[in-house]
Amino acid sequence: MATTGQPTTDATATLQDLAKRHLWMAFTRMGAYADAEVPVIVRGDGCYVWDEHGNRYLDGLSSLFCANLGHGRADIARAGAEQAERIDYFSTWSYAHPPAIELAAKLASLAPGDLNRVFFTSGGSESVESALKLARAYHKLTGHPNKTKVVAREIAYHGASLGALSATGIPALRTPFEPFTPGGVHVPSTNLYRRADGFDPLSLAEAVRDRILFEGPETVGAVIMEPVQNAGGCFTPPDGYFQRIREICDEFDVLMISDDVICSFGRLGTWFGAQRYDYVPDVITTAKGITGAIAPLGALIVSDRVAAPFMEGTEMFLHGFTFAGHPICATVALAAIDAYEREGILEHVRANEAPFRAMLESLRDIPIVGDVRGAGYFQAIELVKDRDTKETFDDDEAETLLRGFLSGELFRRGLVCRADDRGDPVIQLSPPLIAGPEQFAEIEAVLRPVLEEATRRMHLRGAVPRVGVRRA
């Protein structure tokens, strides 16, 4: 990894001590830091971040699929600071302020179809939670009080709050917190990697219809899906999939929720996943890139049709969060959207998606690389034991491979990305949307030797002996 060679300072030692004593990191095995250093990131600029020792890393994950405009965007943050001089905070509970109004109108102008009504949240889980509550409230208001279930896909992650967890389809994340809000039922994802020749990909849409019929259409209120499913490794939809899901939702008066928490604001080269795959959902849930990750914010963007019953007489959506639509965050979002437009970010992603993908495809000669898939700047490499049979690793092997080697080694060599085994083991790449060929080459320069070494360590067929290592 590149380093400025700065020595560790006392301040650094103090940060380590304080982190180990007091900081509880999310989804983190804290025990792993008993004798290892906590990675402390202190600075960012463009596609790069630096740790407290001055080591530089390429942020190949946009931190958490969100720093879409790159790091160090003080210009965007400054817009928030200027807003604080006008009105720092006021709630959107029965009041409005210019940033929330202007951002709502802007989002409506960017969203597909008649999705014109915007309800703010503070992040992705709150957006999903709100969408699920909205679906229930909508059906109650329109005379179908039993339509409470939500159909989601296996292995999909829809958030950490209890309601969002009921839609999340990852058993390991669900089990420790059960029981939670009932009603989440699951169907297969669009993972086609191990499907037999002749398998009809659109049968995966029919599986949603079958599930609705099995549950009883009068009990199903919503279907929630990401345009490209993150967990499991960037499952893209087969052609015609979302069009068929739209038809099925219409057939049974089920709301179609597009969970765009990752797949919006340029990640797929479009404002929203719906535009990439040409469908119009009833509700979009978004967060992350809406502010370029410079401030926390999320939103539901709702069709006029679904919003209409809540706009009449004494009705209301009995729901809200104190900081949702915060004036500083909404102003930052407006400045971020302005940057997406002025800097041609969506066009840049569309122009560079092919070379990014081509770089990843070029790794297919490494025996551990089983599949490469994704869309836009949202790609994954599935790691396998045997490329011919597509055999995956068992739990112990995945543990050895991912946590025993890959995660640490990729970071040590200066690449932030995710080695994940919520489904089969994958490496996920989701760089800032300003990344280009220079960063793709850097990613390859780290991935290739690390994946070759992983192939050797796992004793896979076809492993190339380490260059320069002599046999005894």
421 in contact with ligand PLP (CB under 6 A): no
For ligand PLP, give the closer residue by CB, 120 or 157: 157
Q: Which of 458, 448, 423 is nearest to 189 (CA)?
A: 423
* 150 contacts ligand PLP (rule: CB under 6 A): no
Contacting residues for 464 by C-beta, under 8 A, at least 6 apart: 452, 455, 456
340 binds ligand PLP (CB under 6 A): no
Report which of 109, 107, 42 is spatially closest to residue 297, judged by C-alpha positions: 107
Among 57, 138, 157, 271, binds ligand PLP (CB under 6 A): 157
- CB nearer ligand PLP, residue 159 or residue 423: 159
Residue 165 within binding range of ligand PLP, rule CB under 6 A: no
**Spatial separation of the C-alpha atoms in residues 452 and 454, rounded to whole Å:** 5
Give me the residue whose beta carbon is nearest to ligand PLP.
124
- Minimum distance, C-beta of residue 90 to ligand PLP, in the bound complex (Å): 23
User: At its nearest, how many Å lie between ligand PLP and the CB of residue 326?
Assistant: 15
Instruction: List the alpha helices (DSSP H) in 381-463.
Output: 395-401, 407-412, 437-457
CB-wise, 288 or 385, nearer to ligand PLP? 288
Of 153-161, 384-392, 405-413, 426-434, which part binds ligand PLP (CB under 6 A)? 153-161
**Closest CB 442 distance from ligand PLP, rounded Å:** 25
Residue nearer to ligand PLP on the CB measure, 124 or 376: 124
Residue 324 near ligand PLP by CB under 6 A: no
Burial label for 386, CB within 10 Å (0-12, 13-18, 19+), is middle
Cross-strand bridge partners of residue 298: 121
- What are the two backbone dihedrals, phi and then psi, of residue 23, each rounded to the nearest 5 degrees? -85, 130
Strand partners, 383: 369
Which conformational region is residue 468 in: left (phi greater than 0), alpha (psi within -120 to 50 degrees), or beta? left
The smaller minimum CB distance to ligand PLP, of residues 262 and 368, is found at 262
- Position 51 contacts ligand PLP (CB under 6 A): no
Q: Is 287 in the site for ligand PLP (CB under 6 A)?
A: yes
Quick one: which of 71, 149, 158, 267 contacts ligand PLP (CB under 6 A)?
A: 158
Q: Which residues contact 448 (CB under 8 A, 6 or more apart)?
A: 363, 366
Minimum distance from residue 164 beta carbon to ligand PLP (Å):
6
**Is residue 118 classed as helix, strand or coil in its secondary structure?**
strand
Helix (H, G, I), strand (E, B) or coil at 44: strand
Burial label, 282 (beta-carbon count in 10 A; 0-12, 13-18, 19+): buried
Does residue number 230 form part of the binding site for ligand PLP (CB under 6 A)? yes
Please list, in sequence order, all residues whose beta carbon lies within 8 angstroms of the beta carbon of residue 258, skipping any fewer than 6 positions away. Answer: 225, 226, 227, 272, 273, 274, 279, 281, 283, 284, 285
Cis previous bond, 425, omega within 30? no
Q: Report the residue number, 49 or 297, with the smaller CB distance to ligand PLP.
A: 297
Please tell me whether residue 329 binds ligand PLP under the rule CB under 6 A: no
Q: Which is nearer to ligand PLP, 226 or 442 (CB)?
A: 226
Q: Does 261 bind ligand PLP (CB under 6 A)?
A: yes
Q: Give the separation between CA 73 and CA 66, rounded to whole angstroms.
A: 13
Nearer to ligand PLP among residue 118 and residue 156 (C-beta): 156
For residue 261, the minimal CB distance to ligand PLP (Å) is 4
Question: By C-beta, is 370 or 376 nearer to ligand PLP?
Answer: 376
CB 299, CB 107: distance < 8 Å: yes
Q: What angle do CA 329, 331, 336 make, to 5 degrees?
A: 90
Provide the minimum distance between the beta carbon of 174 and ligand PLP in the complex, in angstroms, as a whole number. Answer: 14
Residue 160 to residues 30, 317, 404, 418, 423, Cα–Cα distance (Å): 18, 22, 26, 18, 17
- For residue 195, what are the CA distances in angstroms to 116, 192, 199? 39, 5, 6
Of residues 109-148, which lie at the interface with ligand PLP (CB under 6 A)? 123-125, 128
Total of chain residues touching ligand PLP, rule CB under 6 A? 13
State the DSSP string of 243-288: HHHHHHHHHHT-EEEEE-TTT-TTTTSSSSHHHHHT---SEEEE-G
Dist CA 453 CA 469 (whole Å): 12
Residue from 249, 256, 262, 401 touching ligand PLP (CB under 6 A): that is 262
Stretch touching ligand PLP by CB under 6 A, among 91-99, 205-213, 258-266, 345-353: 258-266
The correct pick among 44, 99, 112, 159 for binding ligand PLP (CB under 6 A) is 159
Whose Cβ is closer to ligand PLP: residue 12's or residue 275's? 275
CB of 49 to ligand PLP, least distance (A): 19
Which residue, 55 or 291, is less far from ligand PLP as judged by CB? 291
Rank residues 83 and 230 by Cβ distance to ligand PLP and give the closer one.
230
Q: Which residues bind ligand PLP (CB under 6 A)?
A: 123-125, 128, 157-159, 226, 230, 259, 261-262, 287
